[in-house]
Chains A and B, each alone.
Chain A
Amino acid sequence: MFGIKDPLIWLPYAMGAACLIFSAWYGLKYWNKDDHKDKEGRA
């Protein structure tokens, strides 16, 4: 993949990209969502 034959080398690149995509999705999904446990914890 992308000129790298060893899957153990391109795998961390692919997993790093997946992490980045997941974090973007997670950040956007919960951008304005309050954590209900926050209120319980502070109460």
Chain B
Amino acid sequence: MNTFTLGLIVLVYLLSLAYLGWLGYRKTNSAADYLIGGGEMNPVVMALSYGATFISASAIVGFGGVAAAFGMGIQWLCMLNMLVGVVIAFIFFGLRTRRMGAAMGVSTFPQFLGKYFNSRGVRVFTAAVIFIAMPVYAAVVMKGGAVFIEEIFHVDYNISLLIFTLVIAAYVIAGGIKGVMYTDALQACIMFICTAFLLFYLYNYVLHMGFTEANVALGNLAPHVPDKFRALGHQGWTMMPVGGSPQWYTLVTSLILGVGIGCLAQPQLVVRFMTVKSGKELKRGVFIGCLFIAVTVGTVYHAGALSNLYFMRTHGAVATEVIHDIDKIIPYFIDHAMPSWFSALFMLCILSASMSTLSSQFHTMGSALGSDIVGAYRQNGSKHSRIIRLGVLISIIVSYIICYMLPADIIARGTSMFMGLCAVAFLPTYFCALYWKRTTKRAAMASLLTGTVAMLFCLVFMHEKESAALGVCNAVFGRDVLIDCYPIQVIDPILYALPLSIAAIVIVTLLDNKKPSTN
């Protein structure tokens, strides 16, 4: 596909975003409209927006590459995304969140916790964690999007980062959550169609095999596992890694549990539950969300593993032997195995995944600053959409600056760190707000603090991937990790920090043993 046609496709895409952003702006008349769409969003738009926000470009490109390297074990993550991220999230968390949120008249996740526990401290602390931690995650996604534009359009990185940021900033600041969710829905459709076509074309025109036949062929590639991966526990692409091996710990604790559970308490996803009129809309959205995850995530993970058959046939070696950078396996595979027109469309799919995640992050950070932090100290501060818009603008500028300070190979780590932090800091408090009426304000605060501190401690001193990169442990103790005893240094921080956070909320609640503070 030539540059003109590619440019035309992107232009149509950008014009569509501009129109949807304008539509959001026109329909936004109050702070409630700006934060939760007035609580009257369409269930299909809500479910698609939830899915598009959930699935970032790193989930497609990064984890697709992980599937190519380590095999189909990563499908546990897809299954958990469907079961925990959609079914459990919508039915056991979403319905109550929407109902309680409407009853309390709140519009954001920090407001929800703060109002339930009748605590400004809980509200401000939750918002502060979001505003401080999320810009790093947003900057990671921004960097991925800008690098992508740079590679496809051969535009300078600085210019592509500026254009990418300005386009998203325009429709988030102007259109609020309505602009974000309308554009998310369009981007979700693009992602759905592209990934569904990928699987169809892969079987029929690349592999020329059926489902079972391709799985058998992939299983037969087991003797070709590179020695460096075999040493880590890799047994083949249709086998789980050896139990207790480094690869097994990474797959099970970091990828499957960390990301799979972390999705439950992500503020940008929780707020989606408050955007619909009744529980009926949420129930309608369960299937749409589940189908979206199954097709987008499941397809890419499956295709990633099967790409080894293509690489073996065309290059005589498996994917990681041909492409050494795991993040570049899926783009290379799409570029070489698929028709050229699809390569261009798939790039639009990656762009959509980045933009949909990023727009929601900007909106959530801006709400945290403008509505939750400023609003907590100012009379009716949370009611003014102008202050919230200013919060969004500040959060975009902060993320933009951080983007220039990020080290290399931060994408996967940045994503899992943020998801882990959300799980350990917010999940016990959020769960207890929904299901345990005895939970006290002090217990909520104790859990928020314990989870956050424990997570930061593990990242700085315990988990080798982060502690070695940060260098603080080395500077203080002269070694990369505090406890250099396998498997402690490879177990994801969520496995240490989450039980501590849960213990804090349970113990303090039982000690307090008094009436719930509110509701």
Contact (Cβ within 8 A) B103 A41: yes
Q: How far is the CA of A15 from the CA of B100 in the complex (A)?
A: 31
Contact (Cβ within 8 A) A13 B75: yes
Chain B window 252-284, contacts with chain A (Cβ cutoff 8 Å), 1 for yes, 0 for no: 000000000000000000000000001110011
Contact of B87 among A3, A8, A13, A23 (CB under 8 A): A23
Contact (Cβ within 8 A) A3 B78: no
Query: Shortest Cβ distance from A2 into chain B, in angstroms?
Result: 5
Q: Decide yes or no whether B42 CB sits under 8 A from chain A.
A: no
**Number of contacts between A and B (CB, 8 Å)?**
110
Q: Decide yes or no whether B167 CB sits under 8 A from chain A.
A: no
Given A19-B82, A30-B283, A42-B102, do A6 and B239 touch, yes or no (CB 8 Å)? yes
Give chain B residues whose Cβ lies under 8 Å from the Cβ of A28. 287
Contact (Cβ within 8 A) A23 B79: no
Contact (Cβ within 8 A) B238 A27: no
Give chain A residues whose Cβ lies under 8 Å from the Cβ of B91. 26
Contact (Cβ within 8 A) B78 A16: yes
Contact of A35 among B72, B211, B279 (CB under 8 A): B279
Contact (Cβ within 8 A) B214 A3: yes
Q: Closest residue to B99 on the A side, CB-wise?
A: A41
Chain A window 3-40, contacts with chain B (Cβ cutoff 8 Å), 1 for yes, 0 for no: 11110110011011001101110111011111101100
Chain B window 445-469, contacts with chain A (Cβ cutoff 8 Å), 1 for yes, 0 for no: 0000000000000000000000000
Q: In chain B, residues 100-150, which have Cβ atoms closer than 8 Å to a Cβ of chain A? A: 100, 102-103
Q: How far is the CA of A23 from the CA of B51 in the complex (A)?
A: 15
Contact (Cβ within 8 A) A20 B103: no
Q: Which of B290-298, B343-351, B391-399 contacts A (4 or more CB under 8 A)?
A: B290-298
Q: How far is the CA of A16 from the CA of B288 in the complex (A)?
A: 14
Q: Closest residue to A33 on the B side, CB-wise?
A: B280
Q: Closest residue to B80 on the A side, CB-wise?
A: A12
Given A8-B240, A19-B290, do A37 and B82 touch, yes or no (CB 8 Å)? no
Q: Closest residue to B83 on the A side, CB-wise?
A: A19
Chain B window 214-246, contacts with chain A (Cβ cutoff 8 Å), 1 for yes, 0 for no: 111001000000000000000000111000000
Given A16-B82, A19-B87, do A4 and B279 touch, yes or no (CB 8 Å)? no
Q: How far is the CA of A32 from the CA of B278 in the complex (A)?
A: 11
Q: How far is the CA of A20 from the CA of B292 in the complex (A)?
A: 10
A19-B86, A23-B82, A30-B284 given; name 13 further pairs at CB < 8 Å.
A4-B238, A6-B239, A9-B73, A20-B290, A20-B291, A22-B87, A23-B87, A23-B290, A23-B291, A26-B287, A27-B288, A31-B284, A34-B279
Q: Ordered nearest first, which 4 A-B pairs have the shortest CB separation? A: A3-B215, A35-B279, A27-B287, A23-B290
What residues of chain B have their CB less than 8 Å away from a CB belonging to chain A?
Answer: 71-73, 75-76, 78-79, 82-83, 86-87, 91, 95, 99-100, 102-103, 211-216, 219, 238-240, 278-280, 283-291, 294, 298
A-B pairs with beta carbons under 8 Å apart, 7 shown: A2-B211, A6-B238, A8-B240, A16-B82, A19-B294, A27-B284, A33-B280
